[in-house]
Amino acid sequence: MAYIASKSPTPGRPGFSVSFRHPCRKDSKGKAGLKMRRGLGTADALEADALVVQMNQLLSDEAWWNSAKYPDALKAFDKRIVDAFYDGLQASVPDSYEARNGIIPLPDSTSGYARVLFVGTTGAGKTSLLRHLIGSDPEKDRFPSTSAARTTVSDIEVIPAEGAYSAAVTFFSDVVIQTNIEDCVLNACGAVWERMPEDKIADRFLHHPDQRFRLSYVLGSWQKNKALEQASDDWDFGESDAAAAAATSDDEAVSVEQSIAMQTKLEQYVQRISGFAKLKADAISAELLPDLMSASLEDREAAKEIFQEELFEDEIFHEIVQDVMEDILHRFDRLNLGNRSYRMGSSKWPTMWTFETTDRSQFLRQVRWFSSNFAPSFGKLLTPLVDGIRVRGPLFPTFTDRQAKVVLLDGQGLGHTPDSSTSVTTHITKRFADVDAILLVDNAEQPIQAAAQSVLRATASSGNYNKVAIAFTHFDQVKGLNLPKYSDKKAHVLASIHNYLAKLREVLNGPVVSAMERTIDDQAFMLGALQSTSDKLPIGVRMQLCALLDFFERSIVPSALPDAKPTYDPSGLGFAVQRAADNFQKTWAARLGRVLSPNLSAEHHTRVKALNRRISTGQSDEYDSLRPVADLVGRVSEEVSNFLDHPIAWTRKPASEDEAQEAIAPIRRAVFSDLHGLALDRLIANHLADWRRTMEHRGKGSAERRAVDIRSIYELAAPIPGTVNSEPALKFMREVGEIVRIAIEAHGGCMQIANT
């Protein structure tokens, strides 16, 4: 493929840009040739032409296609061209968690701090609870943001401490954001294919299908649907919003002039998308669907997929995406305070923003640009671009005078899954080992539904059940003629936990579940009215919040490990791996539509393709609730947990079942932690080329071919051992066995063949 650069006017600014496909950077399909545009910093057409010539020299000579050639390139070419080409080839973007650590270290138990991980379903009230624990006023501070929808889309880490207020905000890479924009444009084009009205096209463009990336926050909201605005007026309940009134009066809100300009720009995008997509849709429909009424569903789906593929291959599509990227970059220019950091050799896309001040009001005002979901500010917010926010300062609760040393780690909600077998995202489970307490926030009105069940299941099998506390929010809404007293309501909520734990015995052996049952009541806290300010909370809620802080502080006190150590016969591990692999394979065979299951329905092929796309580009190992790595970790850890519950001997007999579980728990935790790397390697890293080939399927039958290929990847990655084993199955068992053996021996146990 020949790589050729071209000159174009810089959208929205004077001067010229250079556009080119990068030979060493992969696009969202995992192919080399990422479409890029970089400003040349000149309005002189002749100078711009000369710079484009230099870029074409770089593109035509593979000897330059190496980051090590950056210093030599600076001697041979203009720095603007060199930086544009080597941006992204220099040292890779650092891990965002470690990047934030480099600015604001995350304290741990050695400094007296307990690390608490917040986990819960979307809308359960995680962030509302966090506000009370850091003394954030819901009207004046509005940090972090709350709503009934998916609000928290990045990690939020709060370190309450005396001194100045400081923040470190890290951003998703430009490739991740560009991929999300491509999804949005494709989604909008899909609305054109389906002959939807303009408002629907705009909505598809501004809101990513998974609802976690919202262009409306950055580009502004669509203001053209007057009928919908009137319908909203008809549903005005007369409630006042003091926060909205306060913010609308200052420059956080978008002005009328800014709103008009944003709407004009959005209309231009929608018109460009509509015109471009309609031409493609008409041509493909005429060729592949001449008689739409008689066309089968499979024919229509195949034609739509070809339509999307041809959109992606068209330069007009990428020009629209690059224009949106330019608009987003302009939003960073509004950050007048704080400091921005960039990749080495780049001044284009920031990797981090840092800020420090002693002024609380100014601090929260600045941090809100990265975390807010406040509608009057749509068009100014950077929230969808942020992957992590860490703040430190005197952020203490106001419902008590205590200044507990507690690091509070919040993140994305779990979503509402229909099936408790859906595994908890590895983004959360990988952090189990690094925290002292895991706070499951759940809605007391509908307690322990599928997502919460998945958390309890994961903490049990991983040996982290002693870390778990459950905060039941909306307890004030638990009402009924059969629940007259507080004790009745609490018993009603706690019954839901015990009902699920009884069901969990079908998956895990009795001992670990019994250990949870004996402690879970003391680790459950009833909370309500969290939407109010802390000074308006009932005394009972404040007492429960103080008890919750007690639990957090106790979590760093090391418990004495029993001197009783287990001995195991490794022959049982083969059966554990067999059951885990069989469960994993059956689940994914059903999701991929390869077998019929009474418990699982087949996933729509577009969701499977979205998973394929994210894996093939290295952006993620999951898509929404499709989490193959988490599933494999979960199933193997559960079966290994059952194996660990049955040692063949002890160095001394444990005094009780609780002592036995305390001795086994560290082994469970070590196995669970190490399984993450094994599952990621076997399912993703070792088969990345296969995932990328699977993305190439198109046309009629492509969904089925993709499903077959993904199933093949899974069968190689997690083969089911049997009576006669293949080398891949033997290797899989050996790798799991080695993880288990190392964990057992590291904690004083022994793996040996049983005496016969």
Q: Which residue has the higher pLDDT, 411 or 693?
A: 693
For residue 183, pLDDT beyond 50: yes
Q: What is the pLDDT of residue 194?
A: 92
- In the predicted structure, residue 526 carries a pLDDT above the cut 90: yes
Task: Evaluate if residue 245 carries a pLDDT over 60.
Answer: no
What average pLDDT is seen over the chain? 89
Task: For residue 344, tell me if it sits in a domain.
Answer: no
426: in domain: yes
Domain's final residue, options 332, 353, 380: 332
**Whether residue 184 sits in one domain with residue 324:** yes
Name the more confident of 151 and 82.
Answer: 82
Lowest mean pLDDT among 16-20, 460-464, 580-584, 740-744: 16-20
Q: Are residues 617 and 739 in the same domain?
A: yes
Predicted pLDDT of residue 418: 57
Cβ proximity of 7 and 18 under 8 Å: yes
Residue 553, CA atoms < 13 Å, CB-side half-sphere = 10
β-strands 566-568, 750-751: how paired? parallel
Q: Which of 526, 554, 582 is the last residue of a domain?
A: 554
On whether both 40 and 80 belong to a single domain, the answer is yes
Mean of pLDDT values over 21-50: 85
Lowest mean pLDDT, pick from 230-234, 343-347, 583-587:
230-234
Output the pLDDT for position 701.
Answer: 85
Q: Picking from 185-194, 495-504, 596-605, 741-750, which range would have the lowest pLDDT averaged per residue?
A: 596-605
Q: What share of the chain is helix, strand, coil (3-state, %, to 5)?
A: 50, 15, 35
Do residues 181 and 317 both lie within one domain? yes
Exposed (0-12), middle (13-18) or buried (19+): which is 607, by Cβ within 10 Å? Answer: middle
Q: Taking residues 423-446, what's their average pLDDT?
A: 94
On whether both 452 and 488 belong to a single domain, the answer is: yes
pLDDT value at 464 more than 70: yes
Asked, for residue 320, whether it belongs to a domain, the answer is yes
Residue 455 lies in a domain: yes
- 168 within a domain of the structure (yes/no): no
> Could you list the residue range(s) of the whole structural domain that residue 614 is in?
566-751
Q: Kindly state whether residues 512 and 596 are assigned to the same domain.
A: no
Q: What is the pLDDT of residue 152?
A: 56
Q: Which two tokens stand for residue 426?
A: 């590895």
Residue 383 lies in a domain: no
Q: Tell me, what's the pLDDT at 91?
A: 47
Indicate whether 293 pLDDT > 90: no
Query: Is the domain of 517 the same as that of 480?
Result: yes
pLDDT given at position 683: 96
Q: Which of 28, 53, 86 is the last residue of a domain?
A: 86
Residues 646 and 743 in one domain: yes
Closest to 521 (Cα-Cα) out of 550, 552, 485, 494: 494
Would you state the pLDDT for residue 504? 94
Which residue, 569, 578, 683, is CA-closest to 639? 578
pLDDT of 549 reads 97
| Of 138-142, 209-213, 230-234, 386-390, minimum mean pLDDT range | 230-234
Look at residue 645 in the predicted model and tell me its pLDDT: 94
The mean-pLDDT minimum among 53-57, 150-154, 346-350 falls in 150-154
Calculate mean pLDDT across residues 342-370. 88
Q: What percent of the chain has pLDDT over 70?
A: 92
Q: Is pLDDT above 60 for 543?
A: yes
How far is 626 from 600, CA to CA, in rounded Å? 13
Q: Are residues 571 and 689 in the same domain?
A: yes
pLDDT of residue 139: 84
List pLDDT tens digits, range 104-135. 999 999 999 999 999 998 888 998 999 999 99
pLDDT tens figures, 711-733:
999 999 999 998 878 898 999 99
pLDDT-derived band at 345, boundaries 50, 70, 90: low
Whether residue 116 sits in one domain with residue 67: no
Residue 744 lies in a domain: yes
User: What does the alpha-carbon distance between residue 277 and residue 196 come to, in Å, rounded to a whole number?
Assistant: 12
The region of weakest confidence among 3-12, 92-101, 636-645 is: 92-101
Domain of residue 532, CATH code: 3.40.50.300
For residues 541 and 404, state if they share a domain. yes
Query: Omega into 598 within 30° of 0, i.e. cis?
Result: no
Q: 499 versus 598: which is more confidently predicted?
A: 499
Whether residues 613 and 740 share a domain: the answer is: yes
Phi-psi region of 463 (alpha: psi -120 to 50; beta: other; left: phi over 0): left
pLDDT grade for 347, boundaries at 50, 70 and 90: low
Contacts of residue 485, defined as CB under 8 A and 6 or more positions apart, other chains included, come to: none
Number of separate domains in the chain: 4
pLDDT band with cut points at 50, 70 and 90 for residue 561: confident
Asked whether residue 544 is assigned to any structural domain, the reply reads yes
- Tens of pLDDT, residues 395-415: 999 999 999 999 999 987 786
**The model's pTM:** 0.87
CA dihedral 366, 370, 374, 377 (to 10 degrees): 70
